[in-house]
Structures are given as structure tokens and as C-alpha cells.
């Protein structure tokens, strides 16, 4: 297809399409990991547009802003925010944000990490949708929800393209409204 409005597809057709597009990269970034590469979804105009529309749909009219997690969360979060007519809050790795930040440390499968958000990015009572590409252990999302809540925001839900069911992120994220296109 060259330009124009991509054709809209139903949920099942979209799942099927995105399933065929997501690429498994065995041994990246370390030998024991199979990386879920979403770049073929981004490269497909119709799949990208339909995925963004699907991620945003349940939250239309119900969120004040979108919090997107570095780095692939930015790629999906920005168009979701645009679709919802909201602003975007970047949640980043340490040292990347220029103004005053608040930080949240969390455990990874191996080791520890910290994420940061500008202290003035959200205000008390702001209704926030969190967007990321892949849910694995759920640790990053949990830390993001935590820093948003510390700032007084209300986490309305989480929208993600894919969850790795075996890693049981869903168990850790109990109580959050998870809107996930694919579970593998």
C-alpha cells in the first residue's frame, strides 16, 4: 500500500497479522533471551495504525495523559497519546531527563534498575494510561505505576502490544487494568 488511510481490521484479524509480524530474535541481547522484535509491526503501515487504534480505544475520553516507557514504549505511546488527544510523559532511564526528576528503583530478573520521571510531569488526580511494548516480569510497569502514584496520579490502565505469559507479569500487576493485544 502506498499512502492513504490504512484499512481497519477486526481484533482477531489484527492479532493474527501482528502475530505473524512480531519477530523472535534468539539470543538477543544475551544468550538466554528470545527478544520479541516489534519493528516489523512498526514498518507495516496498516498494522501500525490498527495496533495504535486498538491500544488507545478503551481509554478514549478517560485519560488526561499517557506515560510512555523508554524506549520502545515511546514509539507506541506517542501515537496513542495523539489518538487520545492527550499529552505524553516520558518515563526514562536514569540521567536522561533534563529537569528535576523523581526516581523509582526496581528489581530486574538479574540485578536492579532505576527509572525517572520529571517531578512536574503529572499532577494530583491526573488520570494516566501507561504504554509499553512488551510485558515480561512486569517490574518496569510496576515501578512506573508506583512513581506515577507517588506524584499523585491515578493509573487508569496499561496498554501493551504483547505479554510473555510464562513470566507471569500479570500476577504482579494485579489490580491494574491491562489491555494487551497478544499473549504468547
How crowded is residue 76: how many other Cβ atoms within 10 Å of its Cβ? 26
**φ and ψ at residue 28, rounded to 5 degrees:** -120, 135
Q: Decide whether 9 or 55 has the Cβ nearer to ligand AMP.
A: 55
Active site residue 72: yes
- The SS3 call for residue 29 is coil
Q: Decide whether 23 or 150 has the Cβ nearer to ligand AMP.
A: 23
Q: Which three cell numbers stand for residue 8?
A: 481497519
In the block, cell 528503583 appears at 105
Q: Which three cell numbers stand for residue 117?
A: 520521571
Q: Measured from the CB of residue 71, what is the shortest distance to ligand AMP in angstroms? A: 8
Q: Decide whether 135 or 159 has the Cβ nearer to ligand AMP.
A: 135
Q: Measured from the CB of residue 3, what is the shortest distance to ligand AMP in angstroms? A: 30
Task: Say if residues 130 and 144 touch (Cβ distance below 8 Å).
Answer: yes
The site for ligand AMP (CB under 6 A) is made up of: 33-36, 69, 72, 132-140, 164, 169
Q: Measured from the CB of residue 123, what is the shortest distance to ligand AMP in angstroms? A: 25
Active site residue 109: yes
Active site residues: 72, 109
Amino acid at each position: 500500500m502506498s499512502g492513504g488511510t490504512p484499512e481497519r481490521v477486526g481484533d482477531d484479524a489484527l492479532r493474527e497479522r501482528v502475530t505473524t509480524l512480531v519477530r523472535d530474535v534468539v539470543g538477543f541481547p544475551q544468550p538466554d533471551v528470545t527478544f520479541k522484535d516489534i519493528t516489523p509491526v512498526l514498518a507495516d503501515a496498516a498494522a501500525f495504525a490498527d495496533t495504535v487504534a486498538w491500544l488507545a480505544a478503551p481509554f478514549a475520553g478517560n485519560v488526561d495523559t499517557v506515560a510512555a516507557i523508554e524506549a520502545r514504549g515511546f514509539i507506541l505511546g506517542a501515537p496513542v497519546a495523539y489518538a487520545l488527544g492527550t499529552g505524553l510523559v516520558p518515563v526514562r532511564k536514569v540521567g536522561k531527563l533534563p529537569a528535576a526528576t523523581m526516581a523509582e528503583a526496581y528489581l530486574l530478573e538479574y540485578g536492579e534498575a532505576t527509572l525517572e520521571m520529571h517531578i512536574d510531569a503529572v499532577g494530583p488526580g491526573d488520570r494516566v494510561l501507561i504504554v509499553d511494548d512488551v510485558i515480561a516480569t512486569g517490574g518496569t510497569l510496576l515501578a512506573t505505576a508506583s512513581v506515577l502514584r507517588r506524584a499523585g496520579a491515578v493509573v487508569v490502565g496499561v496498554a501493551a502490544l504483547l505479554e510473555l505469559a510464562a513470566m507471569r507479569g500479570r500476577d504482579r500487576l494485579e489490580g491494574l487494568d491491562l489491555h494487551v493485544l497478544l499473549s504468547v
